[in-house]
Amino acid sequence: MRGQGRTKEGSDSGAGERADRPEFRRILLLSHEMTYTGAPNSLLNVARVLRKHGHRVTVHTLEDGPFRREFLRRGFWVRRFPSDLSQFLKERYDLVIANTIFCGKQALMLQEKIPTLLYIREAQNLPDIIRDCRLDEDWLHHADYLICVSPYAGRFISRTYQPERLWMLPNFLIPPRLFRPPRNRIRDGKVHFLIAATIEPRKGIAVAVQAMKLLSPEAARRAVLDLAGRKPEWARDYWEGLELEKDSGILYHGEVTGRRRKHRLFRNANVILVPSFDESCSLTALEGAMYGKALLVTENVGAKYLARGGGLVVPTGSPQALAEAMEFLIDNCSLLEEMGRQAHENGCRMASADDYYRRLREIFQKIQEEER
């Protein structure tokens, strides 16, 4: 922990301050990158909620990228995190939220001067990431404050790294203004299963491709697997091995960055498929629920609570089990409308921005008590 002499600019203990003044007025959000992937997208949602509730938000990133335009569109200027920490500290932030394990090194440096939350968006893939990317698991052991995004992730992190303070805070979504989920219609006589994910091994896309091949001939004629996501160079052997272009039942849409294209994909889908081997929460499942789509997810998806009545949960890594679930949904496609309605209701109840901020503010209050 830091020395006790540090001034706590965000404390609400000063005389005459408003009782409703938010804890930690000036908050820095630190992203590891600016890509069209789940972690930066979720951080943007956090920035919007914090600003709505009166916090002054600044955004820094370790690596720049195209997703910066989404922050800019929402009125957040994105800066590169400075190498000169002494210059950075002159900004006088009250709290830092460091997003993902990739910001662990910076979190441990900053927490010596500023209360810092390390926001862990990973789960069982943490040991692999730490090994393959040459990170340090001591960042998890020694971080003052940790947040994870689901009970699934929390159980693994607690058991494996035994952090001193770990809070669970499920992901959430902010629906577009006046948004109403579209009808879940079968447009062309076929059930469209949408996977929106980076094309890499952890996402279980090979399992879904194999499941498509296990469908009965009749079910296969009525199924389309829509796949949208970035093909990272480091996973080239994996996505080249899928040979997506050679399968007529699979449509690969490339990396989708435009809002209109993304909206069209989700609007036209019937089932949102998350076949991952390990998914700490799943922004795609949340988005599917927002759009009123049925969900088909594995046991290792932290957001599987959205599928209660709103879809199906299958064993992880089993093409046969996934194929059987897909056939059930194809044969009973009249159920998809009601499943989508229930998934949407689950999302509104369990993944709302207001509930998220209420829980986050409780965490802020606990940190302030620690810092006093």
199 plus 280 within the same structural domain? yes
Q: What is residue 175's predicted lDDT score, i.e. its pLDDT?
A: 87
For residue 27, CA distances in Å to 59, 62, 143 come to 9, 17, 18
Does residue 183 lie in a domain region?
Answer: no
226 plus 308 within the same structural domain? yes
Q: Is the pLDDT of residue 196 over 80?
A: yes
Q: For 63-119, write each residue's pLDDT tens digit.
A: 999 999 999 999 999 999 987 777 677 678 999 999 999 999 999 999 999 999 999
Q: For 150-195, write each residue's pLDDT tens digit.
A: 999 999 999 999 998 999 999 998 888 878 888 888 988 999 999 9
311 plus 360 within the same structural domain? no
164 plus 223 within the same structural domain? no
Amino acid at 162: Q
Domain of 260: which CATH number?
3.40.50.2000
140 plus 201 within the same structural domain? no
Q: What is residue 19's predicted lDDT score, i.e. its pLDDT?
A: 42
- C-beta atoms surrounding 237 within 10 Å: 8
129 plus 204 within the same structural domain? no
119 plus 239 within the same structural domain? no
Helices (H), the chain: 38-52, 68-73, 85-89, 104-110, 126-132, 138-142, 151-161, 205-214, 217-221, 236-242, 259-268, 283-290, 319-331, 336-350, 353-371
Backbone angles phi, psi at 121, to 5 degrees: -105, 10
Does residue 10 lie in a domain region?
Answer: no
Burial class (CB in 10 A: 0-12, 13-18, 19+), 109: middle
In the chain, the number of structural domains is: 2
Tokens of 155: 């159980």
Q: For 4-19, write each residue's pLDDT tens digit.
A: 333 333 333 333 333 4
Q: What is residue 156's predicted lDDT score, i.e. its pLDDT?
A: 96
Q: What is residue 178's predicted lDDT score, i.e. its pLDDT?
A: 75
234 plus 212 within the same structural domain? yes
Does residue 59 lie in a domain region?
Answer: yes
Does residue 5 lie in a domain region?
Answer: no
Q: For 297-344, write each residue's pLDDT tens digit.
A: 999 999 999 999 999 999 999 999 999 999 999 999 999 999 999 999
Structural domain that includes position 120: 26-172+353-371
79 plus 155 within the same structural domain? yes
- R_g of the chain, CA atoms, integer Å: 21
Q: What is residue 8's predicted lDDT score, i.e. its pLDDT?
A: 35
285 plus 339 within the same structural domain? yes
Confidence (pTM):
0.86
Does residue 206 lie in a domain region?
Answer: yes
Percentage of the chain modeled with pLDDT above 90: 81
Percentage of the chain modeled with pLDDT above 70: 93
Does residue 19 lie in a domain region?
Answer: no
Does residue 12 lie in a domain region?
Answer: no
Q: What is residue 323's predicted lDDT score, i.e. its pLDDT?
A: 98
Q: For 202-213, write each residue's pLDDT tens digit.
A: 999 999 999 999
Q: For 237-283, write each residue's pLDDT tens digit.
A: 999 998 876 667 999 999 988 888 999 999 999 999 999 999 999 99
Q: What is residue 211's predicted lDDT score, i.e. its pLDDT?
A: 97
Does residue 177 lie in a domain region?
Answer: no
322 plus 271 within the same structural domain? yes
Q: What is residue 65's predicted lDDT score, i.e. its pLDDT?
A: 96
Task: Read off the pLDDT band of 20 (50, 70, 90).
Answer: low
232 plus 216 within the same structural domain? yes
